[in-house]
Chain A
Amino acid sequence: DQQVKQNSPSLSVQEGRISILNCDYTNSMFDYFLWYKKYPAEGPTFLISISSIKDKNEDGRFTVFLNKSAKHLSLHIVPSQPGDSAVYFCAASAMGNTPLVFGKGTRLSVIA
């Protein structure tokens, strides 16, 4: 049973436009959420995170929004750049000694 779901396997966006990647979760015990970016044959790199006490966190071109009532979070990238083309993973953590749970990823293609 998938606790973290990324329902869109892929997304194509034009350069300069906004990219919106979505993630849903089912476990109400999750209280910390992260986004990772991954290029082929490399390890994921941490992008941005958000605690459940917030509903928005910004870092440069990246903003993560959290809607706890809907158990939904999204990553906005604006403006999108060709270097943003990668697979993006959503991850969630519950309090206590439990590892991160990852979604299956969304492949973003930014077209010049």
Chain B
Amino acid sequence: DAGVIQSPRHEVTEMGQEVTLRCKPISGHDYLFWYRQTMMRGLELLIYFNNNVPIDDSGMPEDRFSAKMPNASFSTLKIQPSEPRDSAVYFCASTTGTGAPEAFFGQGTRLTVV
């Protein structure tokens, strides 16, 4: 398996534009996580899915953020409209289930909103 794949690796957009980040988890993993990382706030859990169903979205900053998982092999995180304070590295991760399984992270998407 190629691991967790995120795209794009870098995204620069203007304030007010819609941004869509994409993630392909490892095949067979039941859990998918979206994180945001900044210097000030560290690594924040935004939302996570189990078997394509959102379990906890309490970390989503506000209504401008939305996430979907239409099938087991694909998830998106959308920001509409984007703001400069959304600039961060966004990571996607997947695991096999509950207990304490090893989490595999993608390379991240570095988002810059100007």
- The yes or no verdict on A and B being binding partners is no
Residues of B within 8 A of A (CB): none
